[in-house]
Amino acid sequence: MAVQRGLESSRSSAKRLFEDRFARSFVSPTWRFALAAAHLVPIRIGIEAAYDLIGGPGPRPSAIVRTRVIDDLVEGFAPVVDQIVILGAGFDTRPYRLGCLSGRRVFEVDHPDTQEAKRCGLATVLPSEPDGIVFVPVDFESDDLAEALLGAGFLFEESTLFLWEGVTQYLSVHAVAATLGVIRNLSRPKSFLLFTYVDESVVTEGSACFPEAERWLRGVRKRGEPWIFGIAPTEIAKFLADHGFQLMKDISMREAGSRYFSAVGRHEQGSGLYHVVVACTLDTS
């Protein structure tokens, strides 16, 4: 994702969907060199073509448009919530590049080793960590997420935006349900959840319904991170209701790509197998 965000940021301001000046801080020296050269159009085009040739036509544009979709959603929700929680934050840079999060209380939750690597990368471009950012080290395999958040200063009585991006497809159904249960138990009225999921048919049937998924699926398996969980889009409203949330929006990256890429005169296509969901806490009163 850092590589893809770096490539997108090398485009001219009129053509890119977003800018992430921090992305280069989290990649290998080889990729850092490549990204530094990617402002030269022929080099960027060559890198993107090679990436798409290996990974297939879906992953890169879907990742790019996914980032922009969630950026816009975060900007929309930030003024109406009191705190933001990013689960599995990884190298997400929204707290550092989105003005709407400047000075806001943002909890970054992830494995301590990942957080250490991120903080080292940030230190190369930031004189100090911004006010309001709280790193919450959690080993999701063994630690209590709710306990860790509350211990870090999460305020139970305040409205919250929870962001859970790019994770669910790697988890068991039980792990997804357990995490949603924690989020729901921590959510006050007027709290919101943004998360991503893949179409269940890709997990159960492979690339039969989405031909662009063939190399994508092969790539994640090769990295030892196969997709094992998905949701049928026709079932997403019920799935959320079963876990205490109400569906507000379900956006496929094909739909979003058609809108965002065409607006800047580009012809890439996001994949319909990848979705971003917007939900709110279900009123059970």
Query: At 167, which CATH number?
Result: 3.40.50.150
Report the number of distinct structural domains present in the chain: 2
Is residue 9 within 8 Å of residue 34, measured between CB atoms?
A: no
Per-residue pLDDT, 207 = 82
In this predicted model, what pLDDT tens digit does every residue of 173-192 receive, in sequence order? 999 999 999 999 999 888 99
| 42 plus 100 within the same structural domain | no
For residues 111 and 141, state if they share a domain: yes
- 130: closest CA among 101, 166, 110, 173? 101
From 55, 75, 101, the end of a domain falls on 55
Residues in the chain where the model's pLDDT stays below 50: 285
Co-location of 227 and 273 in the same domain: yes
Which pLDDT belongs to residue 85?
98
DSSP state, residue 199 = B
The structure tokens listed for 285 are: 């009163």
Task: Please tell me whether residues 124 and 33 are part of one structural domain.
Answer: no
User: pLDDT value at position 263?
Assistant: 96
Residue in 170, 173, 172 with CA at minimum distance from that of residue 227: 170
Q: Reduce the DSSP state of residue 151 to 3 states and report it.
A: helix
Please report, for residues 207, 248, 274, the alpha-carbon distance to residue 204 in angstroms, rounded to integers and kept in the order given: 9, 26, 15
One domain, residues 46 and 123: no
User: What pLDDT was estimated at residue 285?
Assistant: 46
Q: Do 173 and 101 share a structural domain?
A: yes
- Give the domain-ending residue among 19, 36, 55: 55
Whether residues 152 and 46 share a domain: the answer is no
Q: Read off the pLDDT of residues 69-89 as tens digits, 9 standing for 90 and up.
A: 999 999 999 999 999 999 999
Q: Same structural domain for residues 90 and 132? A: yes
Q: What pLDDT is recorded for position 56?
A: 87
Note the pLDDT of residue 206.
Answer: 85
Give the DSSP H or E segment for 203: helix 200-205
Does residue 44 share a domain with residue 71?
no
Give this prediction's pTM.
0.95
Regarding whether 101 and 69 lie in a shared domain, the answer is: yes
Which residue range is the domain that position 1 belongs to?
1-55
Domain final residue, candidates 55, 75, 91: 55
Same domain, 46 and 118: no
pLDDT at site 142: 84
Asked if residue 121 and residue 207 are part of one domain, the reply reads yes
